[in-house]
Amino acid sequence: MSDYLVITHELELIKNTVQLCPNGITIDEIMRHLNVSLSRRTVQRRLVYMQKEKIVYSKGNTRSKKYFITTATQEQKEASTQFFESIPLSSEGHTLRNTLRVAVEKRIPVTYNRDFLDQYTPNISYYLSNEQCEKLAELGKINVPEQVQVAGTYNKEILSRLFIDLSWNSSRLEGNTYSLLDTQRLIEFGESVDTKSAKDAQMILNHKDAIEFLVQSPDEIGFNPEWVEFPAACGVN
């Protein structure tokens, strides 16, 4: 084990030991509670580091010094409370939050219902009611605009990104000087670059329209040799 991991493990053990003693604990008591063999000098160095990092703090003189775990100040607690109280929650959310605020040792233990598990038959019975299943199915539906009914593309943001990326790359291959950011501003906001030719802007928009046509009308597209321009070097008439 590396030195870093060893030190980290020792710090964690000391922290856990101090945390178990809200009324404070001396260095001798820490050493008695530790499950590993550490010299007094090592424990002292670890405690000095933890005080510097504000993980623990001490009270008393050298002989009777006790160490305490550092907790949040009242000001920090109030700021944290105000932040979480500002988050809008449903009545169920408030109930759940209040339940989670209760210390673990003060919570009412809840055991599982064995009969509930025994009554379940895989692929036949269901833990959720039909009403719950229907509600979850409704929440899970993706609202796709009619004009974006595309195989493999059911997200408007993905479609927008597709228009931008493909239009830019297709135009770039033909010597277009627009950058990716310029292309995005042109397609999304209709803003062309004054210092670049109108031909470059039109080329990008033409590519965007062509991609949009392919995406929105997959069932209407067929292969037509007249649409394909073969270079003479290919030997195709």
pLDDT tens-digit series, residues 152-175:
445 566 777 788 888 999 898 889
pLDDT score for 151: 47
Contact 200, 155 (CB under 8 A): no
CATH 1.10.10.10 residue spans of the chain = 3-69
Global pTM reads: 0.33
Instruction: Determine what percent of the chain is predicted with pLDDT higher than 70.
Output: 78
% pLDDT > 90, the chain: 13
Indicate the class that CATH gives domain 3-69: mainly alpha
Q: Is the pLDDT of residue 145 over 80?
A: no
- Mean pLDDT on 41-66: 87
Burial degree of 234 (CB within 10 A; 0-12, 13-18, 19+): exposed
Residue with tokens 């809200």: 22
Amino acid residing at 190: G
